[in-house]
Amino acid sequence: MFIDTLKERILKEGKCFEGGVLKVDRFINHQMDPYLMKQISIEFIRRFADLSVNKIVTVEASGIAPAVMLGYQMELPVVFVKKQQPSTMSDMYVAHSRSFTKQCDYNMVISKEFLTSDDHVLFIDDFLACGSAGKGIVDLCRQAGATIEGMGFIIEKEFQMGRHVLEAAGVKRIESLAIIESLDNGQIKFK
Amino acid sequence: MFIDTLKERILKEGKCFEGGVLKVDRFINHQMDPYLMKQISIEFIRRFADLSVNKIVTVEASGIAPAVMLGYQMELPVVFVKKQQPSTMSDMYVAHSRSFTKQCDYNMVISKEFLTSDDHVLFIDDFLACGSAGKGIVDLCRQAGATIEGMGFIIEKEFQMGRHVLEAAGVKRIESLAIIESLDNGQIKFK
């Protein structure tokens, strides 16, 4: 099973850091394994098989690889939300967010051209931690009148409670491929 | 021919801004067309068919989509250089760079683990403008003792002279899929 392969890889190549940080930069968020990204995208298609979606949305930078592989397989456009307003962007929606690993606030920006009330969005990201980026997406979609059909994450750190934050914000479908129960004492423990 | 399709798309959907800025955020650097990214990756494979490469390198964020599609087609790992040092990264190479569109300085950061003297690198990015990011890659590869086999760009703004900058820095193979001679008076003129 693919999920076992993914978990094995996280156990073997992931590194734990103080404060609940898991580093997977050998295959997800610095060096990337494109074949793994393809497998991840196929698993997302299976998980969300019952949904009707017309657009994949992600956040720069680590979400782009799985999102673009998924968009390719599903033949859908992919929009990546920016963390900095480009000089050429004027008509946009803005949401406030906070990075868990970087411990800093930032704005999430999407052009009004690429998120409208016609959109049925599948949001894809590498990590679900505190749910801050996902909550920003809920905010952007609310402003645009777009519908969030689901949110898919490669890795969920369950103990950081992001799932509850997103459910409270009204997200009805959340799928995480590998769910981590704890990183206590530097040990990766899956649910 | 694919190149004609790409040029047509740039003409139809690209927008010119003051100071030589070309916005292609409908299909490359905000909303992305994954099928176009696949076609772009195939064209890069053709252009660099004679090279022996073991790693694709790009810079976050807009380079990631074409790079990961290329890595997938070529079955190679992809590393994206970061523009901000992650809290969990300690052993790395750093190069200084400047964004043309954002008019700001930034550091390019890559972990020493993912760039070594064994590497034969193909660098992929969305734009070749002043060549600043490419020059940063030359600097990072020099520090690591890695070999740059080639650099591939989706769009080159020839009038911003980045090709000369990269050639002067020792890059022997540069391929740009669509070369723009000028953006004067808001008109996109291909070479």
Tell me the ipTM for this assembly: 0.96
Percent of chain A with pLDDT over 90: 92
Domain span at residue B70 reads 2-190
Query: Is B68 in contact with A37 (Cβ distance < 8 A)?
Result: yes
Give the nearest chain B residue to A59 (CA atoms).
Answer: B61
A40-63 average pLDDT score: 98
Q: At what angle do helices B64-74 and B34-47 cross, to 10 degrees?
A: 60
Q: Chain A closest CA to B53's CA: distance in Å? A: 16
Chain B positions in Cβ-Cβ contact with residue A21 (cut-off 8 Å): 87-88
Q: Chain B closest CA to A39's CA: distance in Å? A: 11
For residue B87, what pLDDT band results from cuts at 50, 70 and 90? confident
Global model pTM greater than 0.90: yes
Q: What is the pLDDT at residue B189?
A: 97
Is residue B69 less than 8 Å (CB to CB) from chain A? yes
B11-16 average pLDDT score: 96
Q: Chain A closest CA to B172's CA: distance in Å? A: 25
Rounded to whole angstroms, the Cα distance separating A148 from A186 reads 35
Residue B100 has pLDDT above 80, yes or no: no
Please state the domain count of chain B. 1
Is residue A84 less than 8 Å (CB to CB) from chain B? yes
Is residue B9 less than 8 Å (CB to CB) from chain A? no
Nearest to A115 by CA among A78, A156, A154: A78
B57-85 average pLDDT score: 97
Residue B98 has pLDDT above 90, yes or no: no
Look at residue A106 and give its three-state secondary structure. Answer: strand
A168-173 average pLDDT score: 98
Residue B102 has pLDDT above 80, yes or no: no
**Could you tell me the CATH number of the domain that includes residue A75?**
3.40.50.2020
* Average pLDDT, rounded, for chain B: 96
A122-149 average pLDDT score: 98
Residue A104 has pLDDT above 90, yes or no: no
Residue B101 has pLDDT above 80, yes or no: no
- Tell me how many residue pairs between chain A and chain B have CB atoms under 8 A apart: 133
B9-19 average pLDDT score: 95
Of chain A residues 108-167, which have a CB less than 8 A from chain B? 110-111, 113-114
B155-169 average pLDDT score: 98
The per-residue b/e assignment along A46-58, b for 16 or more CB within 10 angstroms, e otherwise, is: ebbeeeebebbbb
Q: Chain B closest CA to A152's CA: distance in Å? A: 18
Q: Are A38 and A6 in contact (CB under 8 A)?
A: no
Residue A49 has pLDDT above 90, yes or no: yes
Give the nearest chain B residue to A20 (CA atoms).
Answer: B88
Rounded to whole angstroms, the Cα distance separating B6 from A87 reads 24
